Amino acid sequence: MKGVLVVLAVLALLAGFPLSTAVLVASVATPAMAQVHRTLFCEGALPVTGDWRPPYETAYTQTSGFGDRFHPIHQEWRLHAGVDLTSQPAGAPVVAAAAGTVTAAGWSSGGGNTVTIDHGGGISTRYLHLAAPSTLTVGQAVHLGQRVGVEGSTGDSIGSHLHFEVHVDGEPVDPVPFMAQRGAALSGVAVASSPPPGQTPDLPEDGEGGIGFELPAPGEPRQDSLHNSPLPVPPGVQELYEQAGAEYAIPWTLLAGIGMAETAHGATTGTSWAGARGLMQFIPATFAAYGVDGDGDGLADIDNAGDSVHSAANYLTASGVHRGEQGVREALFVYNHADWYVNDVLYYAQQYGGGLVLGDPVHCGGQGGNPDLPPVSSERVAQMLAFAAAQNGDAYILGAGGPDVWDCSSLTQTAMAQIGITAPRTAQAQRDWLAMGNGFRVPVEAARPGDLFFYDSYLGPHTIGHVGFVWDPATFTSIEAANPTTGVGHFSYEHAMENHIFEVWRLGNIDDNPKAPS
């Protein structure tokens, strides 16, 4: 009943009525029919941040859903107790959808080579028609994303596919809504491999995301690094690199790569022929725009080593270094417009140990979105916001992906999954994903319930670090995973409207697999 009331409340807001008249709105809030458009996906595989994931790393398609169907082999109506998924290309590895313990591994009647994993709390998953007997054994503990087997066509099957089931308290349930509610929508999009326990990244104290990607390998051409070997980093300079790297969520080795390429870590800090100065060689005009007080003395000094290193991290952040491997390359190119320079820096960074960028591995292009898209329909907005509101009171933990603990972008991502939309994981990537054509920007004063608002936070004034849903624009009320102190709830976004970045975006009427107008 609570979910129904939340939907009615949202419909009331969409129709412009007070919340007290929510029950009356159900009969008058039917929006005009609008064509559903296909979701546009970014480059790269989606990351895994919660306790659940799809059972593939590759892209895949759903070929048969949950429910009664006419069996293609036995020629009779039966309950199809799961969903059939086919990898692209067929025959891909199958991985565990969550951590658990193997309770069955062997041949099953009709299912062929089958594995069953118990996840605790009365929940289990089954993986049928595997190509060969699994190497897993009964009683074995498996981690999220561990290989279960390979997609096949054993048992009662007419083609290579995975029959994937979810059971709750011994009864099969539809895996599609079950997985969507846990931030692991079965959308068919490729999802990156899950690191084994103990190999997750260290997270900053504030912010969101909790995911990362390795620095890209150097490519060709290279220039200076071919004859200038990486020099040892002086301890004092390395401390500056490490401090700035921790503050801006990038590997200190990337800053060391720039420091080596520019001045050999301060060995040559004179003014260059182009007028660049300091340890990290800033043009004065660039430093005026991106220079920060790195040593806390109240001044941003182009010749101060601490200020120079922190300003380099700030400049990389503003240039998109957290937006996947392509974002790292583009940010380095902005720093010094030469392909050989990008590869030199990445080579030096690799020699100093590489590391993980805390950001979204997908790369989304685009600027202004698609203003010709019809906005997402009122019923779908209500469903999306009802899910977000149902998490009211849940805790906030950086990097959490539900179902009971969230950070800001995992909540918005999972809410959108409830209406068949797969969005990237982090706030900046979600904004860029909308800008590539999945939505359009609207003036702040034109905000509606269900719009997403974005603003800068822990990564400085040039990068988006937070996202939430507009709940009631008349009172600037949100529904969001705000921070570790307040958790998930209804708050005010009015305070953030004075930030360096504050944007409101409207989701288009899109779907991963549109079938009919909605």
Give me the torsion for CA of 365, 369, 374, 379, rounded to 10°: 70
pLDDT in tens, 357-392: 988 888 888 778 999 999 999 999 999 999 999 999
CA distances from 448 to 178, 209, 475, 505 (A): 29, 25, 11, 10
pLDDT of the residue at 517: 40
Res. 401: pLDDT tops 80 = yes
- 156-182: average pLDDT: 95
What is the per-residue burial (b if ≥16 Cβ within 10 Å, else e) of 392-425? eebebbbbbbbbebbbbbbbbbbbbbbbbbbbbb
- 238-262: average pLDDT: 96
pLDDT of the residue at 14: 61
pLDDT of the residue at 7: 56
Backbone φ and ψ of 417, nearest 5°: -65, -25
> Is the CB of residue 96 less than 8 Å from the CB of residue 146?
yes
Residues 6+ apart with CB under 8 A from 496: 453, 455, 466, 502
Tell me which DSSP letter residue 174 carries: -
Tell me which DSSP letter residue 418 carries: T
Average pLDDT over the chain, rounded to an integer: 89
> Which of 171 and 463 is assigned the larger pLDDT?
171
Whole-angstrom Cα distance, residue 53 to residue 96?
Answer: 8
| Same fold: 34-42+364-511 with 213-357 | no
pLDDT in tens, 208-219: 656 788 999 999
pLDDT of the residue at 23: 32
| Sequence ranges of the domains in the chain | 1-30, 34-42+364-511, 60-180, 213-357
Residues 6+ apart with CB under 8 A from 120: 100
CATH topology of domain 34-42+364-511: endopeptidase fold (from Nostoc punctiforme) (3.90.1720)
For the record, the structure tokens of 113 come out as 């080579």
To the question of domain 213-357 being in CATH 1.10.530.10, the answer is yes
> Which of 283 and 8 is assigned the larger pLDDT?
283
For the record, the structure tokens of 310 come out as 């922190």
**Residue tagged 């260290």 (tokens):** 202
Q: In the chain, pLDDT over 70 holds for what percent of residues?
A: 90
Side-chain-side CA neighbours of residue 413 (13 Å):
36
> Is the CB of residue 442 less than 8 Å from the CB of residue 369?
no
Q: Tell me if the pTM is above 0.85.
A: no
pLDDT in tens, 298-337: 999 999 999 999 999 999 999 999 989 999 999 999 999 9
Whole-angstrom Cα distance, residue 338 to residue 328?
Answer: 14
pLDDT of the residue at 204: 56
Res. 195: pLDDT tops 50 = yes
Whole-angstrom Cα distance, residue 417 to residue 400?
Answer: 16
pLDDT in tens, 480-507: 999 999 999 999 999 999 999 999 999 9
CATH of domain 60-180: 2.70.70.10
- 229-251: average pLDDT: 95
